[in-house]
């Protein structure tokens, strides 16, 4: 399906989600390789899933790993994109050899710090994922401007009732959908994801 706003589904932890992403034309599948996260997926398991699916770009989501580990794993798995949240200097990102999405937690950053960080990484990153849990109303003007200037993947609060308004108001490059766990191996319900997709794509 075609939509002006691209969609990123993560964390992918099973083949059912990967096949769902491919079938629905979802642009990005995110795999968590951050060992400190509850969503961590063993690389060997990720490779099995990646080898069985096509169509969506694969995104490796890393934590505080160093450049060498990120580069080696992204090459081993033939990832399309690397998403990273650590503090590796912007000028060193090219060493990874893959397109980079810089992940930023806006709850811990004021407007000046966020603007400075975006400016510093923009020449070396292909986009930014904004994460946070706080209400966005107080920062709406700031976020509108950021979405105009940069390729923003929206991982900020929204729900089925207001996702269309969020897209219209902020016009991000992409929006994150949360993948859940399987009820049993190979068995999963997708009603909530389908409902969100229908609204996002204007179906």
Could you read off the pLDDT tens digit of each residue along the chain, which spans 203 residues?
345 899 999 999 999 999 999 999 999 999 999 999 999 999 999 999 999 988 899 999 999 999 999 999 999 999 999 999 988 999 999 999 999 999 999 999 999 999 999 999 999 999 999 999 987 888 999 999 999 999 999 999 999 999 999 999 999 999 999 986 554 444 457 888 889 998 998 76
pTM, full prediction:
0.91
Domain boundaries, the chain: 6-201
- Going from the C-alpha of 153 to that of each of 68, 106, 143, the distances in angstroms are 25, 13, 12
Structure tokens at 45: 């398991």
Homologous superfamily in CATH for domain 6-201: Aldolase class I (3.20.20.70)
DSSP letter for each residue of 95-158: GG-S-EEEEEEGGG--HHHHHHHHHHHTTT-SEEEEE--S-SGGGHHHHHHHHHHS-EEEES--
If residue 178 lies in a helix (H) or strand (E), which one and from where to where?
Answer: strand 174-178
193 by DSSP, 3-state: which? helix
């Amino acid at each position: 399906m075609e939509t002006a706003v691209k969609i990123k589904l993560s964390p992918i932890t099973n083949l059912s989600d990967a096949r769902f992403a491919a079938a629905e034309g979802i642009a990005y599948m995110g795999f968590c390789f951050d060992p400190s996260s509850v969503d961590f997926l063993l690389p060997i398991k990720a490779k099995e899933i990646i080898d069985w699916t096509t169509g969506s770009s694969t995104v490796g989501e890393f934590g505080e790993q160093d450049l060498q580990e990120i580069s080696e794993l992204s090459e081993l798995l033939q990832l399309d994109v690397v998403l990273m949240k650590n503090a590796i200097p912007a000028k060193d990102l090219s060493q990874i050899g893959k397109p980079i999405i810089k992940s930023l937690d806006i709850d811990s950053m004021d407007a000046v710090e966020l603007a400075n960080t975006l400016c510093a990484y923009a020449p070396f990153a292909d986009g930014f994922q904004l994460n946070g849990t706080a209400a966005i109303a107080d920062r709406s003007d700031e976020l509108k401007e950021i979405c105009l200037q940069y390729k923003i993947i929206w991982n900020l609060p929204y729900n089925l009732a207001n996702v269309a308004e969020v897209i219209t108001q902020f016009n991000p490059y992409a929006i994150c959908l949360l993948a859940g766990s399987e009820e049993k191996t190979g068995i999963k319900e997708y009603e909530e994801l389908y409902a969100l997709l229908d609204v996002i794509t204007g179906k």
